[in-house]
Structure 1
């Protein structure tokens, strides 16, 4: 497996620590999951069909509510 060194701001490092701790995973695993999401967004963007990466919340009535859209990947 390849490795890399990443420099990040204290704020990003704090957020990464918080996410990893909350999920019970390592910082490395949290970064791998973040890159996996970035790749999904990038691959969809390359299709050129107007796709965007979105976050949804399931409501009590089982409908979905959009809570965030990532564009420009």
Structure 2
């Protein structure tokens, strides 16, 4: 027998689920961007301020991309 909440609260809305999917995807994308972007910049011999700039840019790009795909995927499941 499935559980039905008795307090009348039906759980998070679809928007809240999509927002949480975006946040989770953004954090995963940021960590992947830090790893791959940092190693790629180090491979090309970039150091110092430029290393931080390129790694941060890679982190934001991959975080935004993966977060968007996770939000869309969560929205499809709502």
TM class by shorter chain equals 0.3 to 0.5
Select the structure that is richer in strand: 1
- Normalising by structure 2, what TM-score? 0.34
Select the structure that is richer in helix: 2
Larger radius of gyration: 2
